[in-house]
Amino acid sequence: MQGMQFESNSKELPYLLALKMIKGVGSATALKLIQHFHSAQAIFNSSKEQLEQAKLKPALIKQINHFNFSTVDKLLLWAEQPDRQVISINCPYYPPLLAQINSPPLVLFTLGNPEVLQTPQISIVGTRNPTLPGLNNTNLFSQAISDQGLSITSGLAMGVDGEAHRAALEAKGFTIAVMGTGLNRVYPAMHKQLAHKIADNGVLVSEQFPDEPIQQGCFPQRNRIIAGLSLGTLVIEAAKKSGSLITAKHSMEEGREVFAVPGSIHNPQSKGCHSLIKQGAKLVESIEDIIEDLPCIAKSQVDKSPQVIRPSLDNSDSEFLKFIDFDITPIDTIVSRSQLTVEAVTNKLLLLELDGWIINSAGGYIRQ
Protein backbone atom coordinates (compact mmCIF):
# COMPACT_ATOMS: atom_id res chain seq x y z
CA MET A 1 0.00 0.00 0.00
CA GLN A 2 1.09 3.56 -0.60
CA GLY A 3 1.51 5.73 2.49
CA MET A 4 -1.42 8.04 3.18
CA GLN A 5 -1.37 11.39 4.94
CA PHE A 6 -4.23 11.62 7.40
CA GLU A 7 -5.50 15.06 8.34
CA SER A 8 -5.90 14.46 12.07
CA ASN A 9 -5.81 18.22 12.80
CA SER A 10 -8.08 19.53 10.08
CA LYS A 11 -9.98 22.76 10.71
CA GLU A 12 -13.28 20.97 11.20
CA LEU A 13 -12.02 18.10 13.38
CA PRO A 14 -11.94 19.91 16.77
CA TYR A 15 -15.56 20.95 16.29
CA LEU A 16 -16.63 17.44 15.29
CA LEU A 17 -14.98 16.09 18.45
CA ALA A 18 -16.69 18.79 20.49
CA LEU A 19 -20.07 17.96 18.94
CA LYS A 20 -19.53 14.31 19.83
CA MET A 21 -18.97 15.34 23.46
CA ILE A 22 -22.30 17.13 23.74
CA LYS A 23 -24.63 15.01 25.88
CA GLY A 24 -27.86 14.21 24.12
CA VAL A 25 -26.42 14.45 20.60
CA GLY A 26 -25.93 11.11 18.83
CA SER A 27 -24.52 10.52 15.37
CA ALA A 28 -27.85 10.95 13.58
CA THR A 29 -28.66 14.25 15.34
CA ALA A 30 -25.12 15.53 14.84
CA LEU A 31 -25.27 14.88 11.09
CA LYS A 32 -28.62 16.69 10.85
CA LEU A 33 -27.15 19.69 12.69
CA ILE A 34 -24.11 19.75 10.41
CA GLN A 35 -26.40 19.64 7.38
CA HIS A 36 -28.48 22.51 8.80
CA PHE A 37 -25.51 24.74 9.73
CA HIS A 38 -23.25 23.48 6.89
CA SER A 39 -20.36 22.67 9.24
CA ALA A 40 -19.63 21.63 12.82
CA GLN A 41 -17.67 24.85 13.34
CA ALA A 42 -20.71 26.90 12.37
CA ILE A 43 -22.76 25.16 15.07
CA PHE A 44 -20.39 26.37 17.81
CA ASN A 45 -20.16 29.84 16.26
CA SER A 46 -23.95 30.23 16.25
CA SER A 47 -25.83 32.45 18.65
CA LYS A 48 -28.39 31.24 21.15
CA GLU A 49 -31.15 32.57 18.88
CA GLN A 50 -29.81 30.72 15.84
CA LEU A 51 -29.64 27.47 17.83
CA GLU A 52 -33.19 28.04 19.07
CA GLN A 53 -34.33 28.45 15.47
CA ALA A 54 -32.85 24.99 14.81
CA LYS A 55 -35.26 23.74 17.51
CA LEU A 56 -32.54 22.69 19.94
CA LYS A 57 -33.47 22.23 23.59
CA PRO A 58 -32.15 24.76 26.13
CA ALA A 59 -29.87 22.16 27.75
CA LEU A 60 -28.16 21.46 24.41
CA ILE A 61 -27.86 25.15 23.57
CA LYS A 62 -26.19 25.81 26.93
CA GLN A 63 -23.66 23.02 26.34
CA ILE A 64 -22.80 24.31 22.87
CA ASN A 65 -22.49 27.98 23.86
CA HIS A 66 -20.33 27.21 26.90
CA PHE A 67 -18.25 24.33 25.56
CA ASN A 68 -14.71 24.01 26.97
CA PHE A 69 -12.43 23.24 24.04
CA SER A 70 -9.51 22.28 26.30
CA THR A 71 -11.07 18.81 26.47
CA VAL A 72 -10.70 18.53 22.69
CA ASP A 73 -7.03 19.50 22.89
CA LYS A 74 -6.37 16.35 24.95
CA LEU A 75 -7.83 14.19 22.19
CA LEU A 76 -5.75 15.92 19.54
CA LEU A 77 -2.64 15.29 21.64
CA TRP A 78 -3.63 11.61 21.88
CA ALA A 79 -3.70 11.44 18.08
CA GLU A 80 -0.17 12.84 17.81
CA GLN A 81 1.26 9.62 19.28
CA PRO A 82 2.71 7.02 16.85
CA ASP A 83 0.18 4.84 14.99
CA ARG A 84 -2.80 6.79 16.38
CA GLN A 85 -5.29 8.60 14.19
CA VAL A 86 -8.59 10.41 14.47
CA ILE A 87 -10.43 10.08 11.17
CA SER A 88 -13.40 12.38 10.77
CA ILE A 89 -16.37 11.78 8.50
CA ASN A 90 -15.24 14.62 6.23
CA CYS A 91 -11.77 13.10 5.82
CA PRO A 92 -11.05 11.53 2.40
CA TYR A 93 -9.75 8.42 4.20
CA TYR A 94 -12.97 7.74 6.07
CA PRO A 95 -14.11 4.21 5.02
CA PRO A 96 -16.49 4.76 2.08
CA LEU A 97 -18.82 1.84 2.88
CA LEU A 98 -19.17 3.02 6.49
CA ALA A 99 -20.09 6.51 5.30
CA GLN A 100 -23.09 5.00 3.49
CA ILE A 101 -24.83 3.56 6.55
CA ASN A 102 -27.82 5.10 8.25
CA SER A 103 -25.94 6.61 11.17
CA PRO A 104 -22.18 6.71 10.48
CA PRO A 105 -19.84 7.68 13.33
CA LEU A 106 -18.71 11.31 13.30
CA VAL A 107 -15.15 10.26 14.04
CA LEU A 108 -13.15 7.06 14.28
CA PHE A 109 -10.21 6.58 16.61
CA THR A 110 -7.66 4.13 15.25
CA LEU A 111 -4.54 2.39 16.52
CA GLY A 112 -2.39 0.64 13.93
CA ASN A 113 -2.46 1.00 10.16
CA PRO A 114 -5.55 3.04 9.18
CA GLU A 115 -5.02 2.20 5.50
CA VAL A 116 -6.44 -1.27 6.26
CA LEU A 117 -9.85 0.41 6.66
CA GLN A 118 -9.76 1.10 2.91
CA THR A 119 -9.45 -2.59 1.99
CA PRO A 120 -12.44 -4.77 1.02
CA GLN A 121 -13.65 -6.57 4.13
CA ILE A 122 -15.80 -9.47 5.27
CA SER A 123 -16.94 -9.46 8.87
CA ILE A 124 -16.91 -12.74 10.77
CA VAL A 125 -18.96 -12.90 13.94
CA GLY A 126 -20.46 -15.51 16.20
CA THR A 127 -21.03 -16.83 19.67
CA ARG A 128 -18.69 -16.26 22.60
CA ASN A 129 -19.08 -19.98 23.41
CA PRO A 130 -18.44 -21.82 20.14
CA THR A 131 -18.30 -25.58 19.77
CA LEU A 132 -15.11 -27.18 18.49
CA PRO A 133 -16.60 -27.50 14.96
CA GLY A 134 -17.53 -23.81 15.21
CA LEU A 135 -13.94 -22.87 16.01
CA ASN A 136 -12.70 -25.09 13.19
CA ASN A 137 -15.11 -23.44 10.74
CA THR A 138 -14.02 -19.99 11.90
CA ASN A 139 -10.41 -20.90 11.29
CA LEU A 140 -11.06 -22.43 7.87
CA PHE A 141 -13.23 -19.57 6.58
CA SER A 142 -10.85 -16.92 7.97
CA GLN A 143 -7.92 -18.59 6.20
CA ALA A 144 -9.85 -18.88 2.92
CA ILE A 145 -11.13 -15.28 3.08
CA SER A 146 -7.63 -13.97 3.80
CA ASP A 147 -6.32 -15.97 0.85
CA GLN A 148 -8.72 -14.01 -1.36
CA GLY A 149 -7.06 -10.76 -0.32
CA LEU A 150 -10.06 -9.71 1.78
CA SER A 151 -9.57 -8.26 5.23
CA ILE A 152 -11.43 -9.78 8.18
CA THR A 153 -13.40 -7.51 10.47
CA SER A 154 -14.72 -8.57 13.86
CA GLY A 155 -15.36 -7.34 17.38
CA LEU A 156 -12.45 -8.72 19.49
CA ALA A 157 -14.93 -10.63 21.66
CA MET A 158 -14.34 -14.07 23.12
CA GLY A 159 -15.06 -17.10 20.96
CA VAL A 160 -15.63 -16.71 17.22
CA ASP A 161 -14.48 -13.07 17.05
CA GLY A 162 -11.11 -13.72 18.65
CA GLU A 163 -10.55 -16.87 16.59
CA ALA A 164 -11.31 -14.96 13.37
CA HIS A 165 -8.71 -12.31 14.23
CA ARG A 166 -6.10 -14.91 15.17
CA ALA A 167 -6.68 -16.96 12.03
CA ALA A 168 -6.36 -13.86 9.82
CA LEU A 169 -3.05 -12.99 11.45
CA GLU A 170 -1.77 -16.56 11.04
CA ALA A 171 -2.74 -16.40 7.36
CA LYS A 172 -0.67 -13.18 7.01
CA GLY A 173 -3.86 -11.30 6.16
CA PHE A 174 -5.23 -8.01 7.43
CA THR A 175 -7.72 -7.83 10.26
CA ILE A 176 -9.77 -4.98 11.78
CA ALA A 177 -10.97 -5.13 15.39
CA VAL A 178 -13.90 -2.83 16.11
CA MET A 179 -14.00 -2.17 19.83
CA GLY A 180 -16.92 -1.24 22.05
CA THR A 181 -14.63 0.58 24.49
CA GLY A 182 -12.04 3.29 23.99
CA LEU A 183 -8.71 2.23 22.49
CA ASN A 184 -6.85 2.79 25.76
CA ARG A 185 -8.82 -0.13 27.20
CA VAL A 186 -9.10 -3.70 25.95
CA TYR A 187 -12.20 -5.77 26.64
CA PRO A 188 -12.04 -8.63 27.36
CA ALA A 189 -8.76 -8.10 29.22
CA MET A 190 -7.46 -11.52 28.20
CA HIS A 191 -7.34 -10.26 24.59
CA LYS A 192 -4.71 -7.59 25.34
CA GLN A 193 -1.95 -9.53 23.62
CA LEU A 194 -4.20 -10.23 20.63
CA ALA A 195 -5.09 -6.53 20.44
CA HIS A 196 -1.38 -5.62 20.33
CA LYS A 197 -0.83 -8.09 17.47
CA ILE A 198 -3.78 -6.63 15.56
CA ALA A 199 -2.42 -3.10 16.04
CA ASP A 200 0.94 -4.28 14.65
CA ASN A 201 -0.57 -6.10 11.64
CA GLY A 202 -3.94 -4.43 11.09
CA VAL A 203 -5.91 -1.81 12.93
CA LEU A 204 -7.99 -1.33 16.07
CA VAL A 205 -10.89 1.07 15.62
CA SER A 206 -13.50 2.61 17.90
CA GLU A 207 -15.95 5.49 17.83
CA GLN A 208 -15.60 5.79 21.63
CA PHE A 209 -13.19 8.27 23.19
CA PRO A 210 -9.84 6.64 24.04
CA ASP A 211 -10.46 6.34 27.80
CA GLU A 212 -14.13 5.40 27.44
CA PRO A 213 -15.08 2.43 29.69
CA ILE A 214 -17.71 -0.19 28.95
CA GLN A 215 -21.14 1.44 28.76
CA GLN A 216 -24.61 0.09 28.25
CA GLY A 217 -25.43 -0.06 24.57
CA CYS A 218 -21.84 0.33 23.34
CA PHE A 219 -21.64 -3.16 21.84
CA PRO A 220 -24.79 -2.94 19.67
CA GLN A 221 -23.43 0.39 18.43
CA ARG A 222 -20.10 -1.27 17.71
CA ASN A 223 -21.90 -3.98 15.74
CA ARG A 224 -23.33 -1.44 13.29
CA ILE A 225 -19.75 -0.35 12.52
CA ILE A 226 -18.63 -3.95 11.97
CA ALA A 227 -21.47 -4.40 9.48
CA GLY A 228 -20.96 -0.97 7.93
CA LEU A 229 -17.29 -1.52 7.15
CA SER A 230 -17.91 -4.82 5.39
CA LEU A 231 -19.11 -6.08 2.04
CA GLY A 232 -20.91 -8.82 3.93
CA THR A 233 -21.20 -10.54 7.29
CA LEU A 234 -20.51 -14.22 7.90
CA VAL A 235 -22.11 -15.71 11.02
CA ILE A 236 -20.38 -18.93 12.08
CA GLU A 237 -22.38 -19.98 15.15
CA ALA A 238 -24.98 -18.01 17.07
CA ALA A 239 -27.70 -18.74 19.57
CA LYS A 240 -31.20 -17.33 19.05
CA LYS A 241 -30.46 -14.18 21.09
CA SER A 242 -26.80 -13.77 20.17
CA GLY A 243 -25.39 -10.27 19.74
CA SER A 244 -23.99 -11.52 16.43
CA LEU A 245 -27.51 -11.40 15.04
CA ILE A 246 -27.50 -7.63 15.63
CA THR A 247 -24.53 -7.34 13.29
CA ALA A 248 -26.31 -9.51 10.73
CA LYS A 249 -29.46 -7.38 11.09
CA HIS A 250 -27.47 -4.21 10.42
CA SER A 251 -25.96 -5.84 7.34
CA MET A 252 -29.40 -6.75 6.02
CA GLU A 253 -30.76 -3.25 6.70
CA GLU A 254 -27.83 -1.67 4.86
CA GLY A 255 -28.29 -3.96 1.85
CA ARG A 256 -25.09 -5.90 2.50
CA GLU A 257 -24.69 -9.64 2.09
CA VAL A 258 -25.34 -11.96 5.04
CA PHE A 259 -23.91 -15.47 5.11
CA ALA A 260 -24.59 -18.15 7.70
CA VAL A 261 -22.98 -21.52 8.38
CA PRO A 262 -25.59 -24.20 9.15
CA GLY A 263 -25.15 -26.71 11.96
CA SER A 264 -26.89 -29.51 13.75
CA ILE A 265 -30.55 -28.95 14.60
CA HIS A 266 -29.63 -30.16 18.10
CA ASN A 267 -26.93 -27.52 18.60
CA PRO A 268 -28.33 -24.42 20.36
CA GLN A 269 -25.42 -22.42 18.93
CA SER A 270 -26.77 -23.08 15.43
CA LYS A 271 -30.29 -21.79 16.07
CA GLY A 272 -29.37 -18.20 15.24
CA CYS A 273 -27.74 -19.19 11.94
CA HIS A 274 -30.77 -21.26 10.97
CA SER A 275 -33.03 -18.31 11.79
CA LEU A 276 -30.93 -16.03 9.55
CA ILE A 277 -31.12 -18.54 6.70
CA LYS A 278 -34.92 -18.60 7.03
CA GLN A 279 -34.86 -14.78 6.76
CA GLY A 280 -32.87 -14.86 3.53
CA ALA A 281 -29.23 -15.15 4.60
CA LYS A 282 -27.20 -17.34 2.28
CA LEU A 283 -26.32 -20.80 3.55
CA VAL A 284 -22.59 -21.25 3.04
CA GLU A 285 -20.43 -24.35 3.10
CA SER A 286 -17.27 -23.01 1.45
CA ILE A 287 -15.50 -19.85 0.36
CA GLU A 288 -16.95 -20.31 -3.15
CA ASP A 289 -20.43 -19.66 -1.72
CA ILE A 290 -19.24 -16.27 -0.46
CA ILE A 291 -17.17 -15.19 -3.45
CA GLU A 292 -19.94 -15.82 -5.99
CA ASP A 293 -22.10 -13.23 -4.21
CA LEU A 294 -19.40 -10.55 -4.25
CA PRO A 295 -19.22 -9.19 -7.81
CA CYS A 296 -16.32 -6.92 -6.86
CA ILE A 297 -14.14 -10.00 -6.27
CA ALA A 298 -12.95 -11.76 -9.43
CA LYS A 299 -14.23 -15.30 -9.82
CA SER A 300 -10.70 -16.37 -10.68
CA GLN A 301 -9.64 -15.56 -7.13
CA VAL A 302 -11.53 -18.50 -5.68
CA ASP A 303 -9.06 -20.70 -3.88
CA LYS A 304 -7.91 -23.55 -6.08
CA SER A 305 -5.03 -24.68 -3.86
CA PRO A 306 -4.61 -28.44 -3.47
CA GLN A 307 -6.80 -29.92 -0.77
CA VAL A 308 -5.44 -32.23 1.90
CA ILE A 309 -5.90 -35.80 0.68
CA ARG A 310 -6.76 -38.28 3.43
CA PRO A 311 -5.80 -41.95 3.15
CA SER A 312 -8.59 -44.09 1.72
CA LEU A 313 -10.53 -46.35 4.07
CA ASP A 314 -11.03 -50.08 3.78
CA ASN A 315 -14.57 -51.43 4.06
CA SER A 316 -14.25 -52.16 7.77
CA ASP A 317 -13.10 -48.64 8.69
CA SER A 318 -15.61 -47.09 6.29
CA GLU A 319 -18.44 -48.92 8.06
CA PHE A 320 -17.03 -47.97 11.47
CA LEU A 321 -16.93 -44.30 10.50
CA LYS A 322 -20.72 -44.37 10.13
CA PHE A 323 -21.02 -44.81 13.90
CA ILE A 324 -19.54 -41.33 14.43
CA ASP A 325 -21.70 -38.23 13.91
CA PHE A 326 -20.74 -34.83 12.57
CA ASP A 327 -21.54 -33.59 16.08
CA ILE A 328 -19.77 -34.74 19.24
CA THR A 329 -20.32 -38.48 19.64
CA PRO A 330 -19.44 -39.94 23.07
CA ILE A 331 -17.20 -43.02 23.02
CA ASP A 332 -19.89 -44.99 24.91
CA THR A 333 -22.28 -44.30 22.04
CA ILE A 334 -19.70 -45.48 19.49
CA VAL A 335 -19.11 -48.68 21.49
CA SER A 336 -22.85 -49.29 21.71
CA ARG A 337 -23.43 -48.71 17.99
CA SER A 338 -20.47 -50.78 16.80
CA GLN A 339 -20.90 -53.64 19.30
CA LEU A 340 -17.08 -53.75 19.57
CA THR A 341 -14.96 -53.83 22.72
CA VAL A 342 -13.76 -50.55 24.22
CA GLU A 343 -10.18 -51.49 23.33
CA ALA A 344 -11.05 -52.19 19.68
CA VAL A 345 -13.01 -48.94 19.42
CA THR A 346 -10.18 -46.95 20.97
CA ASN A 347 -7.66 -48.38 18.50
CA LYS A 348 -9.88 -47.60 15.51
CA LEU A 349 -10.55 -44.06 16.76
CA LEU A 350 -6.83 -43.39 17.13
CA LEU A 351 -6.09 -44.50 13.55
CA LEU A 352 -9.01 -42.49 12.11
CA GLU A 353 -7.88 -39.42 14.05
CA LEU A 354 -4.29 -39.74 12.80
CA ASP A 355 -5.57 -39.97 9.21
CA GLY A 356 -7.74 -36.87 9.63
CA TRP A 357 -11.15 -38.53 9.38
CA ILE A 358 -12.26 -37.54 12.89
CA ILE A 359 -11.23 -35.08 15.58
CA ASN A 360 -11.02 -35.70 19.30
CA SER A 361 -13.21 -33.25 21.21
CA ALA A 362 -14.11 -32.86 24.86
CA GLY A 363 -16.87 -35.38 25.37
CA GLY A 364 -16.25 -37.55 22.32
CA TYR A 365 -15.34 -37.56 18.64
CA ILE A 366 -16.51 -35.58 15.61
CA ARG A 367 -16.56 -36.84 12.04
CA GLN A 368 -14.79 -34.56 9.55
1 domain-assigned: no
- Please check the confidence at residue 245 and state whether its pLDDT lies above 70: yes
Pairing of strands 364-367, 358-361: antiparallel
- Please check the confidence at residue 178 and state whether its pLDDT lies above 90: yes
pLDDT in the model for residue 314: 79
pLDDT in the model for residue 153: 98
Same-domain check for residues 55 and 158: no
Same-domain check for residues 155 and 282: yes
Comparing 46 with 93, which gets the higher pLDDT?
Answer: 46
pLDDT tens, position by position, 154-164: 999 999 999 99
Q: Residue 27 has what DSSP assignment?
A: H
pLDDT in the model for residue 298: 44
- Please check the confidence at residue 3 and state whether its pLDDT lies above 80: no
Same-domain check for residues 249 and 280: yes
**Count of domains observed in the chain:** 3
What is the C-alpha to C-alpha distance for residues 351 and 358, in angstroms, rounded to an integer? 9
CATH number of the domain that residue 348 is part of: 1.10.10.10
Here the contacts of 73-76 (C-beta below 8 Å, separation 24 or greater) are: 75/17, 75/209, 75/210, 76/8, 76/9, 76/13, 76/14, 76/17
- Please check the confidence at residue 285 and state whether its pLDDT lies above 80: yes
Phi (first) and psi of residue 249, to 5 degrees: -65, -45
* Interval 63-85 mean pLDDT: 91
7 domain-assigned: no
159 close to 148: Cβ distance less than 8 angstroms? no
pLDDT in the model for residue 368: 73
Tell me the pLDDT band of 296, cut-offs 50, 70 and 90.
low
- Please check the confidence at residue 36 and state whether its pLDDT lies above 50: yes
| Percent of the chain at pLDDT exceeding 70 | 92
310 domain-assigned: no
pLDDT in the model for residue 322: 81
75 domain-assigned: yes
Other Cβ atoms less than 10 A from the Cβ of 255: the count is 8
pLDDT in the model for residue 194: 97
Tell me the pLDDT band of 6, cut-offs 50, 70 and 90.
very low
- Please check the confidence at residue 217 and state whether its pLDDT lies above 90: no
Same-domain check for residues 350 and 272: no
DSSP SS3 for 181: coil
What is the C-alpha to C-alpha distance for residues 51 and 62, in angstroms, rounded to an integer? 10
4 domain-assigned: no
Same-domain check for residues 229 and 183: yes
Same-domain check for residues 100 and 128: no
Q: Name the domain boundary from 91, 112, 133.
A: 112
Other Cβ atoms less than 10 A from the Cβ of 231: the count is 20
- Please check the confidence at residue 241 and state whether its pLDDT lies above 60: yes
* Interval 35-58 mean pLDDT: 91
2 domain-assigned: no
| Domain of residue 38, residue span | 13-112
What is the C-alpha to C-alpha distance for residues 165 and 151, in angstroms, rounded to an integer? 10
Same-domain check for residues 51 and 126: no
C-alpha distances in Å from residue 273, one per residue of 90, 203, 229: 36, 28, 21
Same-domain check for residues 99 and 123: no
Same-domain check for residues 125 and 236: yes
Q: Name the domain boundary from 63, 91, 112.
A: 112
pLDDT in the model for residue 2: 35
Same-domain check for residues 269 and 180: yes
Same-domain check for residues 132 and 169: yes
Same-domain check for residues 238 and 102: no
pTM for this predicted structure: 0.80
CATH number of the domain that residue 225 is part of: 3.40.50.450
Tell me the pLDDT band of 348, cut-offs 50, 70 and 90.
confident
* Interval 18-24 mean pLDDT: 91
144 domain-assigned: yes
216 domain-assigned: yes
- Please check the confidence at residue 133 and state whether its pLDDT lies above 50: yes
